[in-house]
């Protein structure tokens, strides 16, 4: 059995992109651990873009425009929010090397953020990597109720509109399960990944100022069509 010391690896942005195509991703043991390790879960979380569930109360919040949603405007703010410790939550696995790698991918156009703002302040959001027709969700945060949930709904609409076929959540949490996230085994994930890498997703196809009603309509239309 391999120990953590056996799988320490120096990762560049190019190696990271290749790793995603192989179904693996990096993590650190903690924010203070300088090393990164390859992770490939036996059971993988995915959110079927043709079967996204938006809770009714959250849909009302979206329609009411409680949050302003922006795309790719504050990478540093989002990753800092994802890494921050808060009541009931320790600091995450996002160490300086993770920050640097995903900053590079952001500058290269592969890493994206969906951000929720309120009264001119960043209060939630998420980041991940778009590659061909796959989007690999990395982390999300919120300092206001529903802020990260709204970001996730907007992400799903953007991926559907941009003709992505796979949203990888890596793991399944209760936070994600309410939207329809399911767990599949590694072999099934690789079948979906291979298909997604043959697609041509466009993360920026949906205008950033798309009205809330249209966001919800995109998700509902995909739900009616079934799995994409």
Nearest residue to 138 via CA among 166, 182, 160, 169: 169
As a whole number of Å, the CA-based R_g of the chain is 17
**Phi, psi at 170, each rounded to 5°:** 70, -60
Nearest residue to 223 via CA among 149, 170, 156, 144: 156
Q: Is the pLDDT of residue 32 over 50?
A: yes
- Partners of 129 in beta bridges: 111, 136
Please give the Cα distance from 148 to 142 (Å, whole number).
Answer: 5
pLDDT for 86 equals 64
Q: Is the pLDDT of residue 221 over 50?
A: yes
Q: Which range among 32-46, 92-106, 117-131, 134-148 shows the weakest confidence by mean pLDDT?
A: 32-46
State the chain's mean pLDDT as an integer.
Answer: 91
Q: Is the pLDDT of residue 227 over 70?
A: no
Please give the Cα distance from 20 to 120 (Å, whole number).
Answer: 34
Residues 150-206: tens digit of each pLDDT: 999 999 999 999 999 999 999 999 889 999 999 999 999 999 999 999 999 999 999
Nearest residue to 36 via CA among 52, 13, 58: 13
pLDDT for 29 equals 75
Q: Domain 43-225 maps to which CATH number in 3.40.630.70, 3.40.50.720, 2.40.50.180, 3.30.1360.70? A: 3.40.630.70
Whether 183 and 43 have beta carbons less than 8 Å apart is answered as yes
DSSP 139-198: EEEESSTTHHHHHHHHHHHHHHHTT--EEEEES--HHHHTTT-EEEEHHHHHHHHHHHHT
Residue that wins the pLDDT comparison between 108 and 85: 108
Hey, where are the domains in the chain?
43-225
pLDDT for 7 equals 47
pLDDT for 91 equals 55
| 164-189 residues labelled b (16+ CB within 10 A) or e (exposed) | bbbbbbbebeeebeebbbebbeeeeb
Q: Is the pLDDT of residue 211 over 60?
A: yes
**Phi, psi at 128, each rounded to 5°:** -170, -175
Confidence of residue 31 (pLDDT cuts 50, 70, 90): low
Count the alpha carbons within 13 Å of 45 in the hemisphere toward its beta carbon. 16
């Amino acid at each position: 059995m391999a120990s953590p010391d056996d799988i320490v690896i120096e990762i560049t942005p190019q190696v990271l992109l290749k790793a995603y195509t192989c179904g693996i991703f990096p993590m650190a043991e903690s924010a203070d651990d300088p090393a990164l390790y390859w992770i490939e879960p036996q059971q993988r979380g995915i959110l079927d873009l043709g079967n996204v569930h938006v809770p009714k109360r959250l849909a009302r919040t979206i329609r009411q425009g409680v949050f302003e949603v922006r795309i790719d405007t504050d990478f540093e703010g989002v990753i800092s929010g994802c890494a921050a410790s808060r009541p009931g939550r320790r600091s995450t696995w996002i160490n300086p090397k993770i920050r640097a790698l995903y900053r590079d991918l952001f500058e290269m156009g592969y890493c994206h953020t969906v951000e929720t703002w309120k009264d001119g302040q960043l209060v939630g959001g998420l980041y991940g990597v778009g590659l061909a027709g796959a989007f690999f969700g990395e982390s999300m945060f919120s300092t206001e109720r529903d802020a990260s949930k709204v970001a996730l709904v907007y992400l799903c609409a953007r991926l559907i509109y941009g003709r992505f076929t796979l949203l990888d959540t890596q793991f399944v949490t209760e936070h994600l399960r309410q939207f329809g996230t399911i767990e599949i085994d590694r072999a099934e994930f690789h079948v979906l990944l291979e298909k997604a890498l043959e697609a041509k997703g466009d993360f920026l196809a949906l205008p950033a100022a798309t009205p809330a009603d249209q966001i919800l309509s995109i998700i509902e239309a995909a739900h009616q069509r079934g799995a994409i």
